[in-house]
Amino acid sequence: MGVVAATLAATALVGGGAFWLYRRWEKKKEEEELDPEDLPDDYDDDGTTEPIVPEEVRPRGGFMDRQKVPQEVKQEFIEAFGGWAPPNDEILDNLTQEDVVLFGVVSEPVPGYPLEREEILTAKVRTVEDTVIRARICENAEFSAHLGAHAGHGFRFGEMVEVPRGVIILAARPKPNGIEGYGKYGRAGGRLVPSEPTAKPYDIYPGTSYDLVMPYITDDVEFHINREMVRFELVGTKGLHQQIRFSEDSLRGDATLQAMDRDPKTGRLHFLARWKLHIHP
């Protein structure tokens, strides 16, 4: 009976393996016959859900000629910021990291998205160079991705861009918003759920604030980062959101942020949540 049982088990194992190989071959054959455009956006074979965008239809665009911006639009910016449009070289040479520049971007039509979109973006100055101003986009871009029949321009919130001097519409110093704590730096660039349930690392851009979704918040929550040269600021709380901001001098690369709750009676730290991060340039 033992020999018979072993034989049946081996037969089942080989049969199951053969069936699995057959199904895998059949699936591979079906994939080869599929048009890539027919696949769902999150299709992948590595078990993770992420958008797959073929290079030929990836959102992309360039800078808009500032001469095409209507004068009444420029005037609205001047009144809002108290700046000068367009800025001359003397103004641009004296920009500081407290200042912002406004510029237009236009999307490039790609297959399936024939119509282009134009948008005015705001970016915080990082460095002033001879031909460009290096700045970080500090407001959410509405038309960054494809939308309906419109092509996306691909410029995203938090990314560093090199803006040619000749396309800058306005240079200005933003007025203080009077907000302290949560929202001090404007809207959050992302909502980060702990990585335990999501198994997901988050892309982080320094100088941009993010909302950590907390299981709970007490006065005794402590945050620890696993890399000494990654610096962050706790901006404030709103409900179960703890807003956080990483400084520009943070070391780029992978990092893990962990929240611990200290027991005031025993002094012990209890694990609360963990976020896996990748800090971009």
CA distances (Å), 58 to each of 155, 157, 183, 200, 251, in order? 12, 17, 32, 23, 29
Burial 195-231 (b: 16+ CB within 10 A, else e): beeeeeebebbbbbbbbbebeebeeebebebeeeebe
Q: List beta partners, residue 137.
A: 123
Distance of alpha carbon 160 from alpha carbon 123, whole angstroms? 8
Distance of alpha carbon 245 from alpha carbon 110, whole angstroms? 35
Yes or no: say if 114 and 149 are a contact pair by the CB < 8 Å rule. Answer: yes
Q: Provide the 8-state DSSP code for 240.
A: T
- pLDDT at residue 160, rounded to an integer: 94
Greatest C-alpha distance within the chain: 94
Distance of alpha carbon 250 from alpha carbon 95, whole angstroms? 23
Record: fold of 191-279: Immunoglobulin-like (2.60.40)
- pLDDT at residue 51, rounded to an integer: 58
Query: pLDDT tens, 153-197?
Result: 999 999 999 999 999 998 988 777 788 889 888 888 889 999 988
**Residue 186, token pair as written in the block:** 């404007």
Distance of alpha carbon 224 from alpha carbon 236, whole angstroms? 16
Yes or no: say if 147 and 54 are a contact pair by the CB < 8 Å rule. Answer: no
Yes or no: say if 106 and 121 are a contact pair by the CB < 8 Å rule. Answer: no
Q: What is the pTM of this model?
A: 0.67
Q: Is the dihedral of CA 81, 84, 90, 92 positive or negative?
A: positive
**Residue 193, token pair as written in the block:** 């759920």
Which strands make up the sheet holding 221-225, listed edge to edge? 201-204, 269-279, 253-262, 221-225
- Give the residue ranges of the chain where pLDDT is below 50: 1-50
- pLDDT at residue 177, rounded to an integer: 76
Distance of alpha carbon 112 from alpha carbon 53, whole angstroms? 12
